Each structure stands twice: as structure tokens, then as C-alpha cells.
Amino acid sequence: MGQEVDRTRFTDADFARFDARMREELALLHRVADGGGLSRAGFVVGFELEAWLVDHGLVPAPVNDAYLATLADPLVVPELSRFNVELNGTPCGLGGTAFSALAEELEGTWRRCLDVSHRMDAALVMIGILPTIRRSDLTLANVSALRRYAALYEQIMRLRAGRPVQLDIDGDEPLRLANADVMFEAATTSFQVHLQVPAELAVRFYNASLLASAPVLAAATNSPFLFGHRLWHETRVPLFEQAVATDPCDGPERRRVTFGSGWMRESIVEHFDDVVAHFPVLVPHASDDPPERFPHLRFHNGTIWHWNRPLIGFDADGTPHVRIEHRVLPAGPSLLDMVANAAFYVGLASGLGTLSRPPERDLPFDAVRANFLAAARDGLAAEIIWLDGRPRAVRTLLLEELLPIARQGLVEQGVDADESAHWLGIVEQRVRTGITGSVWQRRWIERNGPDFQRLLADYLEHQRSGAPVHEWPA
């Protein structure tokens, strides 16, 4: 869904043509995969970071069109709302000091972004849910000026037959709301890690990414508030899952935002079989690209937001490759925290994905999905079911087993020992102190009361210091 569309209204014939071409491309992908035509090149890591533009009052500033025109940086592009932008990183081969290279580039891009925001009397914030967001900000008037977003929203509401979006999130202060459109989605921002894997390892690494999602998220939560309500440690998860549901009766495995419906068995193409078979086409955007580029299949896959989403991309020589887009992580709290989270995910997925006995043989998929929701709800206080089938305190599991597995996984990927120690050390200290972004925000409100402008002001000050969140003053 990153590409622009030529219109927002479509006919039945448009949907039929798109569906036919998509299925032809799916059949071609089967032949390519069965014939060993997917890339076997080494591991590559990259990222996308969604950020907030806010004004001097620290509320959303819907100015991304003017902001991006002034910035003029190809690595920074629009997001779905006019108060969000997306920063992209240049993918780099995994090994050596890859994560420091990603951090250096991100810091340079971020500083250029901050410079432009300051000149516009605005600020840029990395946080999963902006604590100062108001319901009045989440209207179609604030959709970015791109046809693809208008088309997407219109088609979601078409499938809902005009029924309002219902939000129902439990927590210390439960929140139940209805909205006439899908703009609740614009209240969430994330830090998405892309991991390209050799084709022969794609199934193992995809399953490992599912298994890693709960502990990775538990150590990284940063979205505890929405509209003044204290909800989950990562409220972004239930908010996003409910905001773009096309059918209120869909179970969790058939929502457009989903953890999935089961383990992958033999081929990464199983994912694409599933999205074609079970998810209606939203936007039948026709493409003149050749079938070998899988344009319709890839476009449709971009309208279904799996928390771990397999993607088809292309090597420099045109060979199709497999990437796993790990969408679990929130934006923020600091650049160091986010890159550390990326290193932890990649290391843990690598360690779990190369175990002699595939861990998916020992844990039901439903337990792994329940683990993910428990981590989103309770953060480092969560209990999850691990490979022995017993509930474990996630904080203990992280320190005693999972961080060592991640270290070994990075070693096996050729990451330098000092590099691994630096980035995983940030995660370890966050776990030992118990201070994630969500815990820091909750404690601030407990001490100071529900002054969300002051909360965000203090958060921004600490974010600009560059220190990881476990070092922020309590």
C-alpha cells in the first residue's frame, strides 16, 4: 500500500480483473518457489519509523504536506494522517556493526527532521500513542492528501456496510467508543523491523518471529494511554486490531490486523495462499508491471496488517526475495531503545529459528497468540506459556533464557561481540529496572496527575537527551 492509486472509486469489473491477475501471480509465485527461484542471499535488516508532528501546545499538527515539501528527503514520506510521517532506513547486511550503522543513519535523518520541524514551530515525537491525541483529531479531514488512503478508508467502510467502528478496550479505565470512520487507526505509530531471510529458512524464521513477538513486545511497550484512559501497556495492539475491522463478526485470525491463523508448515507461499483465499480485496489498483513483479499480489498483501507480515521484494539483480516485516514494536521511547529492540528481535528470531528442534512443534499456535496479547496487556508483568508448556514470568524468562538466546543468535549472524553486548545490554537494563516507556509514562501520571501536556513535555525532553528510557529520571 506504499504506492499511489489513480482513483478512489471502482467497479465490479475492476475487482474481477484485479482478482484474476492476483491469482495468476499467486500461481506464478508457487512455481518460482517450487523451482528454487526465491533468493538464497544472506540476511538483510532495515526499518520504518512512524512519528508524530505536534504544535507548540503538544497536540497533533496536521501539516505533513508542507513539512515534507520543506524537508525534501526521499527517506521521509507521508503516513496515513496529516500529523504523521514515516522515516525509512537503508537496508544493510546483517553482521559486524549493522545495528550501529542503522542507528547512525536514523540519528542523522532524525536530526534533519527535527531541524525542519523547529523551523515550522512544531516538534517531532516518537511514541506509540500520543497521550495528547483528541477524538477531534481523528477525522477524515486529517487524512493525508493521497488517493490511496481515501480509497482504503472508503473500501473498509463499504465492507462494513457503513456500520461505525466499535472500540472496546479493557484496562484500569476501560474505554468504549464508536466512530463513524476508521480514523482510530491514525492514533497508532510503530517501529517496523524488516528482516530479509534466505528462502530455505523463511518458514523457520517466520515461525520464530511469531514466537518471539510476546517477549520482544513485553520489553518494549510504550502506549499506555488513549484519550486520557489508562489501558494496556501496549494499547496500540487492541486499538489497531479493532480500528480497521471490516466485519464485526470476524474472529481474531480474520481481522485485517491479525496475529495470523497458524504456524507456517512448508513454504512461505502458504501466507499468500491464505491472504488471497480469506481476505476480500480492498483496493483493486491495476498495475502494468509484469507478473514476475507480483504487483497485484503484493498490493493486496499490503492491505492486511499481520503483526509479522511476510513480504516479497527483489534483490538488486531482480531475484525475488522474502522479508519478514516485524510490526510488533511501538515507536520510541528513544533512538537507542528502538535499535536495541531491533537487535533483540533479530537475535531472538535467529536463535529460535535455528534450534535443532523447531520450537513450533512444542507450543500450540493459540498459546503463542495468547502470549502476544498478554505481553501487550501487562508488559513486563505478563506471564506467558513457554516451550515446556508451563506459564513463566516474562521478566525472568527474558533475563535467564531469551537474552542469552538472542546473544547467540547475533553471534551466529556474524554480529561483532561488542556490538551485540551494547545493544542487548540496553534491553537487559530496561528489563532489570522494569522501566519500559509505558511504565515510565504510567509512573509520571501517578506522581503528577492526569496532565498529559506536561507528561509529553517531559517525555520529549528526555527523548531529546538521547538516553535510553531506563536512564530517564523517575
On average, the pLDDT of the chain sits at 94
Q: What is the mean pLDDT of residues 284-310?
A: 95
Query: Over the stretch 381-402, which tens digit does the pLDDT of each residue have?
Result: 999 999 999 999 999 999 999 9
Q: What is the mean pLDDT of residues 203-228?
A: 98
The pLDDT value given to residue 248: 58
pLDDT band at 4; cut points 50, 70, 90? low
Query: Over the stretch 454-468, which tens digit does the pLDDT of each residue have?
Result: 999 999 999 999 999
The pLDDT value given to residue 447: 97
Q: What is the mean pLDDT of residues 299-308?
A: 95
For residue 148, pLDDT beyond 80 = no
CB 226 within 8 A of CB 235: yes
Domain ranges within the chain, ordered by starting residue: 12-466
The C-alpha atoms of residue 307 and residue 188 are separated, in whole angstroms, by 13
The pLDDT value given to residue 2: 54
| Residue appearing with cell numbers 504536506 | 65
For residue 433, pLDDT beyond 90 = yes
The C-alpha atoms of residue 345 and residue 351 are separated, in whole angstroms, by 10
Listed residue (426, 432, 437) closest to 463, CA to CA? 437
Query: Over the stretch 54-103, which tens digit does the pLDDT of each residue have?
Result: 999 999 999 999 999 999 999 999 988 999 999 999 999 999 999 999 99
On the 0-12 / 13-18 / 19+ scale of CB atoms within 10 A, 293 is: middle
Query: Over the stretch 234-244, which tens digit does the pLDDT of each residue have?
Result: 999 999 999 87
The C-alpha atoms of residue 347 and residue 159 are separated, in whole angstroms, by 40
The one-letter code for the residue type at 290 is: P
Higher pLDDT, 143 or 172: 172
pLDDT band at 126; cut points 50, 70, 90? very high
Q: How many CB atoms lie within 10 A of CB 277?
A: 9
Higher pLDDT, 21 or 286: 21
Torsion angle, alpha carbons of 455, 434, 213, 387, to 10: -160
The pLDDT value given to residue 23: 98
The pLDDT value given to residue 1: 44
The pLDDT value given to residue 442: 98
The pLDDT value given to residue 27: 98
The pLDDT value given to residue 57: 95
For residue 162, pLDDT beyond 80 = no
Cα first-last separation, the chain: 40
The pLDDT value given to residue 151: 73
Cis ω for the linkage preceding 290 (within 30 of 0): no
CATH 3.30.590.20 fits 12-466, yes or no: yes
Beta bridge partners of 430: none
Rg (CA), the chain: 21
Q: What share of the chain in percent tops pLDDT 70?
A: 96
For residue 249, pLDDT beyond 60 = no
Listed residue (271, 233, 235, 231) closest to 253, CA to CA? 271
On the 0-12 / 13-18 / 19+ scale of CB atoms within 10 A, 441 is: buried
Burial 308-331 (b: 16+ CB within 10 A, else e): bbbbbbeeeeeebbbbbbbbbbbb
CB 330 within 8 A of CB 222: yes
